[in-house]
Amino acid sequence: MAKPSARAPLMSLQDALAQLLATVQPSTAVETLATLDADGRVLAQDVVSELQVPPQDNSAMDGYAVHHEDVLAGQPLPVLQRIAAGAAGQPLQRPGAARIFTGAPIPDGADAVVMQEDCVLSESGMPGGLPSVQIQSQPLPGQWIRRAGEDVTRGAVVLSRGSRLGPAEIGLAASVGLATLQVLQRPRVALFSTGDELVMPGTLAPSAMRPGAIYNSNRFFLHSLLRRLGCAVTDLGIVPDQRQATIEALRSAAQDHALILTSGGMSVGEEDHIKPAVQALGQLDLWQVAMKPGKPFAHGRVANAHFIGLPGNPVSSFVTFLLLVRPFLLRLQGVTQTDSPALELAAHFDLPHGDKRREFLRVRRNAQGGLDLFPNQSSAVLTSAVWGDGLIDNPPNQPIRYGDPVRYLPFAELLS
């Protein structure tokens, strides 16, 4: 009797991610987009400033602009002018003061601003009926002055190609005068599910569900994750458990999409058709990744489109998307930095035995700044991802004792 073939060793998550990213050719298709509409998009070229920000020295406070040498204890200064933001004042006559507001240009001759809380204003008492101000603290040269160009200098690269734009980046682009930006086109992703057991919410009431039927939750959270990553999603729905229907769905999706994404259906049973369908049209690599949850993972090509098959259990699908598909899609969009930084926090629980695989535990922060563990870590329990606010990245065979420092990956980083 022939001996059964040895099972291939599990692939480390690091190696799986490296191999996956090595297949990516970042998009080069560019479009011009209004800066207001560019949130989440990726820059196709450097943003170079044609001006300095701020354009001139300006006040960081509401108060009075003075020359520091003119401030003498107990002696009032005449208030000679009023300078609002957006207005240009006259050179300061010395000794004297200018009423000034936040953002207003500093007049020539002034070298400090005293905040209004440190000043006492009198509406009269100076020659000609001018108001006066008594400065109650001795200013230092440069006090409360924002210098020209301290934020951005002319000719500086303020945003680099491959940067993913968020609110701060959009504001910075606007601050140097850009109403439009050159961004990479959104990757087009085809999403579909297979399985005659799947039911779309809304088509059947829970009381009418047949034995063995389940609502298709994976389709919903994958659609949401893809949109959060800036993808243009084509939802192809549920494909019947038939070989030819699966082949046709893949062939059609490959024509105008960069990625085809599915979950489940990667087994070798008679009713699992995705694997042979992909192989009939292209190539497929099945990986067993040394991670929990999420061991089964598939990557391949259908014509010019990438294919990724995720595990069917919802938490496995969710976690493998965050740790493998997310960096893949970011790299596809030209993002150069795809890592998510981890925090070191204290575990407020005991885990007597670590798993033989690298494990990603659903946890959330507590009021003491530590991490609580969701009691049921099953890959089928999607409530753990709702209750939790992140994952602990626990090495293989690593027990955790109360108070141990652990690597914490916040969902706030992984879901953005």
Return the percentage of the chain with pLDDT > 90, whole number.
75
2 pLDDT more than 70: no
Instruction: Please identify which residue in the block is written with the tokens 């990625």.
Output: 259
What average pLDDT does the segment 31-52 reach? 95
What average pLDDT does the segment 314-337 reach? 93
Hey, what's the torsion of the CAs at 343, 332, 36, 225, to 10 degrees? -60
Hey, is 143 helix, strand or coil?
A: coil
Instruction: Please identify which residue in the block is written with the tokens 């170079």.
Output: 48
229 pLDDT more than 70: yes
pLDDT digits (tens, 9 = 90+) for 237-272: 888 778 888 899 999 999 999 999 998 766 544 446
Structural domains for the chain: 13-25+186-332 (3.40.980.10), 30-53+151-184 (3.90.105.10), 58-146 (2.170.190.11), 343-414 (2.40.340.10)
Confidence of residue 201 (pLDDT cuts 50, 70, 90): confident
What average pLDDT does the segment 158-187 reach? 95
Q: Can you tell me the distance from the alpha carbon of 296 to that of 209, in angstroms, rounded to the nearest whole number? A: 28
Strands 180-184 and 30-34: antiparallel
Whole-Å CA distances, 99 to 58, 89, 113: 13, 10, 10
pLDDT digits (tens, 9 = 90+) for 370-398: 999 999 999 999 999 999 999 999 999 99
Residue from 234, 233, 191, 246 nearest 216 by CA: 191
pLDDT digits (tens, 9 = 90+) for 340-375: 889 999 999 999 999 999 999 999 999 999 999 999
Confidence of residue 292 (pLDDT cuts 50, 70, 90): very high
Q: Model's pTM, two decimal places?
A: 0.82
Whole-Å CA distances, 164 to 43, 69, 153, 410: 7, 48, 22, 19
Q: At what angle do helices 243-254 and 274-281 cross, to 10 degrees?
A: 50
Specify the long-range contacts of residues 211-215, CB closer than 8 Å, at least 24 apart: none
pLDDT digits (tens, 9 = 90+) for 295-315: 889 999 999 999 999 988 899
